Amino acid sequence: MPPVSISPSVDTIRDAVAQAGGRTHLVGGSLRDRLPRRSGGKPMPKDYDLMVTGLPMDRLQAAMPGAAPLVGASFPVIKARVGEDTIDIALPRTERSTGARHRDFEVVGDPNLPIPEDLARRDFTMNAIALCLDDGEMFDPFGGREDIECRWIRAVGDPAMRFREDPLRMLRAARFVAQLGFEIHPDTVEGLRRCAGLLWSVSKERIAEELLRLLACADARYVGIALRLLRDTGLLAMVCQPFVASFAFVQKNPYHHLTVDEHVFLAVEHAVSRGFPLRARLAVLLHDVGKPWSYTEKDGVGHFKGHEDVGSDIVRQWMRSMSFPTALTDSVALIVAEHLRPERDIEDKPLRRWFVRLGEAWDDALACREADLAAHAGHVAADAIQWTDGIRARIATIDKAVPPTFSEATLALTGTEIASRFGAKGIEIGRLKRLATQAVVDGEIPNEAEVIAAWLASHAPPGLGEQ
């Protein structure tokens, strides 16, 4: 059969490998996403993973057109640059566990390893397929094509063995649910339940990365399904232990018709359906973690006074423990602390203060507020989008006068000028700056030096006057 054409860059590599005496195979997600499935469109791959047989690594690297550096600590992979594309190329390999932790395994590359043996080490049948680009031969020893057609996520062989080899695969399974809209095969779900505790061996950074990748997926329904899968298999308890107290927590409140966890999942689905940024989605997932710890009951009605502040502290501590970036941690904790604001009937002055207090995070904070409202009982949720759009329109007028980055540091009248004009010293300079800053935020005066000076002259304490 004639060679299979994938893209100009892949074709170039295939031809170079063939010239050197090797054979090129398309593998992994780049092949999976080209194959037909029972319903829904196929996302065409943006990246290509190739496996080359018949050439040792040094000859393979020498055959590559252009730059082809080796990367990877445990197993070398060529990053071939062809035109505008960077393509990963590896040899067939076997993997052998050498310990209990995620990275404890030995990887051995062998250019003469039979293709099925390489595919046997892979995570799911849908990823355990190879297509020879030289003649179109398909290697599918585990029924991956049929599982793709049926939209199944099924572990290769024994699920428990696959997950013991690499526990991160369990989170990848949930992410594939959200990403592809597939369902996990019952045998593989049982493997997730049995092996959930193994996530202790995976680095916190990798766990956080997989959680963010799941939340970044575009299909709201399947993101919700994936989150419930994590909960029901015990994986979410390993990923986000502070969330466990929310499971099946009945709110006993007329504004809430769902348990805390189901309210949160519905809010996340709303955030995804609206295309909100990833930071907002993460804040939505975490916004009510303080509720179980703040619960009180009066006359049979549940109350959660102060849960936003309790939750903010919990979120900050958890995100630090998971090695999230400091800036993301700080902003998500701030959004959680502010998720009950703006109030539904907020006036302009407190709205201005909220806007400046949130700074550049204000839009994500408003997105979190909308998603939270949308997941309330129907009489609260009915106008969530319309109300939020109204707040955004009001903020658009505020932003023209006071940008979200406004602070004492950007006040048009400096501390030196205040000292010179008013004879102020030490802490009095700071007090006057705070007074003027608040006046600008509240819309009483514009951020203009002379206007600020005149305003301070009429508001300065006795004993201070222009020099």
Q: Kindly report, residue by residue over 71-101, the tens digit of the pLDDT.
A: 765 667 888 888 778 889 999 988 765 555 5
What pLDDT is attached to residue 103?
A: 56
In the chain, count of helices (H) and strands (E)? 23, 13
CATH (domain of 230)? 1.10.110.30
How far is 409 from 427, CA to CA, in rounded Å? 16
467 part of a folded domain: no
The string of DSSP codes covering 249-293 is ----BTTB-S-HHHHHHHHHHHHHHTT--HHHHHHHHHTTTTHHH
Question: Exposed/middle/buried for 419, CB within 10 Å: 0-12, 13-18, 19+?
Answer: middle
Strand segments, DSSP code E, in 5-103 are 23-27, 49-53, 70-71, 77-82, 85-90, 93-97
What pLDDT, in 10s, does the model give residues 367-408? 999 999 999 988 878 899 999 999 999 998 887 778 888 888
How far is 455 from 449, CA to CA, in rounded Å? 10
What pLDDT, in 10s, does the model give residues 295-352? 999 999 999 999 999 999 999 999 999 999 999 999 999 999 999 999 999 999 999 9
Q: List CB contacts of 447: < 8 A, sequence separation 6 or more.
A: 401, 402, 406, 410, 411, 412, 440
Which of 96, 120, 144 marks a domain boundary?
144
Which of 204, 236, 268 marks a domain boundary?
236
How far is 262 from 352, CA to CA, in rounded Å? 33
Beta-bridge partner residues of 153? 184
**Residue 286 CB: number of other CB atoms within 10 A?**
25
What pLDDT is attached to residue 94?
A: 81
Q: Are residues 126 and 183 in the same domain?
A: no
What pLDDT, in 10s, does the model give residues 212-242? 999 999 999 999 999 999 999 999 999 999 9
Q: Are residues 336 and 437 in the same domain?
A: no
Q: List CB contacts of 209: < 8 A, sequence separation 6 or more.
A: none
Structure tokens that stand for 314 in this block: 């919990």
Structure tokens that stand for 86 in this block: 């960077």
Grouping H, G, I as helix, E, B as strand and the rest as coil, residue 108 is strand
223 part of a folded domain: yes
Chain centroid to Cα 94, Å, comes to: 31
Residue with tokens 């501590």: 317
Band the pLDDT of 467: cuts 50, 70, 90: very low
- Which of 63-72, 151-160, 194-203, 357-366 is least confident? 63-72
What pLDDT is attached to residue 465?
A: 47
The dihedrals phi and psi of 190, each to the nearest 5 degrees, come to -60, -35
331 part of a folded domain: yes
What pLDDT is attached to residue 443?
A: 87
Q: Are residues 225 and 340 in the same domain?
A: no
Q: Are residues 130 and 155 in the same domain?
A: no
Q: List CB contacts of 12: < 8 A, sequence separation 6 or more.
A: 65, 82, 83
Kindly state the average pLDDT of the residues 22-49: 79
What pLDDT, in 10s, does the model give residues 129-150? 999 999 999 999 999 999 999 9
Torsion of CA 305, 308, 314, 316, to 10 degrees: -160
β-pairing, 152-153 with 183-184?
Answer: parallel
- Specify whether the CB–CB gap between 454 and 466 falls below 8 A: no
CA angle 77, 80, 83 (to 5 degrees): 160
What pLDDT is attached to residue 2?
A: 84
3 part of a folded domain: no
Structure tokens that stand for 158 in this block: 């024994």
What pLDDT is attached to residue 38?
A: 61
The dihedrals phi and psi of 109, each to the nearest 5 degrees, come to -90, 140
Kindly state the average pLDDT of the residues 20-25: 96
392 part of a folded domain: yes
Which of 405, 425, 448 marks a domain boundary?
405
> Residues of the chain with pLDDT > 90: what percent?
67
- Expressed as residue numbers, the domain containing 185 is 151-236
Q: List CB contacts of 390: < 8 A, sequence separation 6 or more.
A: none
What pLDDT is attached to residue 99?
A: 55
Write down the mean pLDDT value for the chain.
90
- Which of 97-111, 241-255, 414-428 is least confident? 97-111
Q: List CB contacts of 91: < 8 A, sequence separation 6 or more.
A: 51, 52, 53, 56, 57, 60, 109, 110, 111, 113
pTM, entire model:
0.88
What pLDDT is attached to residue 104?
A: 54
Q: Are residues 416 and 392 in the same domain?
A: no
β-pairing, 130-132 with 138-139?
Answer: antiparallel
Q: Are residues 412 and 390 in the same domain?
A: no
H/E stretch holding 18 reads helix 8-19
Structure tokens that stand for 166 in this block: 């690499």
Q: Are residues 418 and 386 in the same domain?
A: no
CATH (domain of 110)? 3.30.460.10
